[in-house]
Structure 1
């Protein structure tokens, strides 16, 4: 018996720790995604009109599919037209009654204005705006040679959401709609080598927390702060040198 107890004392702790490390992260990720989807899709979105930026891959792509399964009409936006059309085709197949694609660079204010205008011209209403488009960068601050190269991170991650929201708010007020903002755990978990990305995500949280108060009950605001999620952005598919760009 003593031998068995010694064996269990030796084996059980590392085995338990290994099991937790193996199974806990996927479980927590599943619970997180489930809570996000429940918070976004608690209402009946059948027939409602949804704009999703950065919809050509990653989180934006899968949000498009979730909305489509629930019968929402979609206006999908990204810079890569071919990928965007593929997402739109899939969304139609799985249940969306109407899907349009709009090529736009959300760092450009005129593109954001056109995105909302084209959506309104086609559907005549707007119920949800999902600000998802984003890019990332990986570099130590002191290693950066030309710091102005990183302005685009703030232009897309922060200003892209601000521009689109500005043009969408009047229509969202009319329908008592919702704004969904994809920030990141990086807004409060300061990972090294991602100073500009972290700052852009923190700016999103503070801006939309303020906007939530200003808009009151007229427009709902949901801020999502996911952790590390495997996507083209995190896989470095568009990594060039020390810069990484993606529509999420």
Structure 2
């Protein structure tokens, strides 16, 4: 009976849904517009003297969000690993209009660091009203070409745990103020894009985590999920960010040419949506069209990506090397690892290798000489080893006791 019901629903539900959406779409758009208009003029949160904690605030989307909150007169807590860069952002935020700014150098994938900067914020200001998680790390490599899997845990830690740990620590304080959590996600959480497998998986997990948390909190704490398509970032502008003492370094070759939108506009939309209490902020909105294709005609997306990939010709390896940090030229045009800020995007035609991807010019380093050995032959018995003249001794119960 259940199988028969599912078979009928498989035939009826998709076309029926499309018909209902076609007739109800104008009404739904009108309701959404009216709600947005009301919230914009009558329900927008006043951020004057409110306390906003922003992770990944040293660059890209996190930096721009800090400036948008500064324009609204908020008190800012800027968190990132690059303290010197945070000082620059802090000074500019004060000039723009922030009442007060404190900076804290911390690593958001470490729970102890998260407890430290949330505790410092509460001790200094006495409260937390908004927590904005913007830390993200993108990649562009084909999964079957990866030669070193040590990068995998770091990618997942940054994109998932780097957003969950601050939320876990700050949640009790946000519940006291009926505050809000803002998370920077990406359209890749539901739109599969080639060369973004681990990034897409982490973002999908992140969005589902916050969707579930929204129900669990029952509006005690608001949650705004921001998703974006192609946007500009420090990485796409050719800047290389490598922390001193970083445990990994890799070079990337971009094979898809695209132009990124301005992150300033996206940051403005995020802050405005968070203050209105919006559940979602999407940039741009038309990306939702792909969601319909994925639900009702998934093969269209698959064929499209196959066509795009075939037009790019043969694939080249993207992940060249992973290992201890090495000196690099920051002015190089080759794309490299972005440790903080927004998701990397491409602004122009990507560089290509004229030949096969670079490899080690010689064998990996070995000992300069043979490992130390005995200077002489190991000592031997001058004669045959002693043997027991009788049966070997045996333990008895008393000896064991």
Q: Same fold (TM over 0.5)?
A: yes
Partner of 1:159: 161
Partner of 2:339: 246
User: 1:90: Cα distance to partner?
Assistant: 0.5
Structure 1 unaligned residues grouped into runs of 5+: 1-34
Identify the structure with the greater helix proportion. Answer: 1
State the TM-score, normalized to the length of structure 2: 0.51
**What is the root-mean-square deviation in Å for CA atoms of aligned residues?**
1.7
Structure 2 unaligned residues grouped into runs of 5+: 1-36, 242-249, 252-318, 320-335, 342-401
Partner of 1:120: 122
Partner of 2:200: 198
Partner of 2:139: 137
CA contact (8 A) 1:136 1:197 kept: yes
Runs of 4+ in structure 1 deviating by more than 3 angstroms, as ranges, are: 233-236
SS of residue in 2 equivalent to 1:147: coil
Partner of 1:69: 71
CA contact (8 A) 1:233 1:246 kept: no
For residues 144 and 193 of structure 2, the distance between their equivalents in structure 1, rounded to whole angstroms, comes to 15
What CA deviation, in whole Å up to 9, does each residue of 1:145-186 have, x standing for no partner?
A: 121322111111110111100110000000000000000011
1:71-90 equivalences in 2 (<5 Å) = 71-90=73-92
Specify which of 102, 105, 113 is matched with residue 103 of structure 1. 105
What CA deviation, in whole Å up to 9, does each residue of 1:85-119 have, x standing for no partner?
A: 10010000111111000111111111111111111
State the TM-score, normalized to the length of structure 1: 0.81
SS of residue in 2 equivalent to 1:173: helix
CA contact (8 A) 1:92 1:98 kept: yes
Partner of 1:209: 211
CA contact (8 A) 1:212 1:221 kept: yes
What CA deviation, in whole Å up to 9, does each residue of 1:49-92 have, x standing for no partner?
A: 00000001111111000000000000001111111110010000
SS of residue in 2 equivalent to 1:136: coil
CA contact (8 A) 1:77 1:103 kept: yes
For residues 237 and 189 of structure 2, the distance between their equivalents in structure 1, rounded to whole angstroms, comes to 20
115 and 142 in structure 1: CA distance in 2 versus 1, 3 angstrom threshold: same
For residues 97 and 194 of structure 1, the distance between their equivalents in structure 2, rounded to whole angstroms, comes to 40
Partner of 2:229: 227
Greater shift after overlay, 177-186 or 130-139?
130-139
Identify the structure with the greater strand proportion. Answer: 1
User: 1:236: Cα distance to partner?
Assistant: 5.3
1:22-41 equivalences in 2 (<5 Å) = none
What CA deviation, in whole Å up to 9, does each residue of 1:14-35 have, x standing for no partner?
A: xxxxxxxxxxxxxxxxxxxxx9
User: 1:232: Cα distance to partner?
Assistant: 1.1
For residues 174 and 131 of structure 1, the distance between their equivalents in structure 2, rounded to whole angstroms, comes to 19
For residues 86 and 53 of structure 2, the distance between their equivalents in structure 1, rounded to whole angstroms, comes to 13
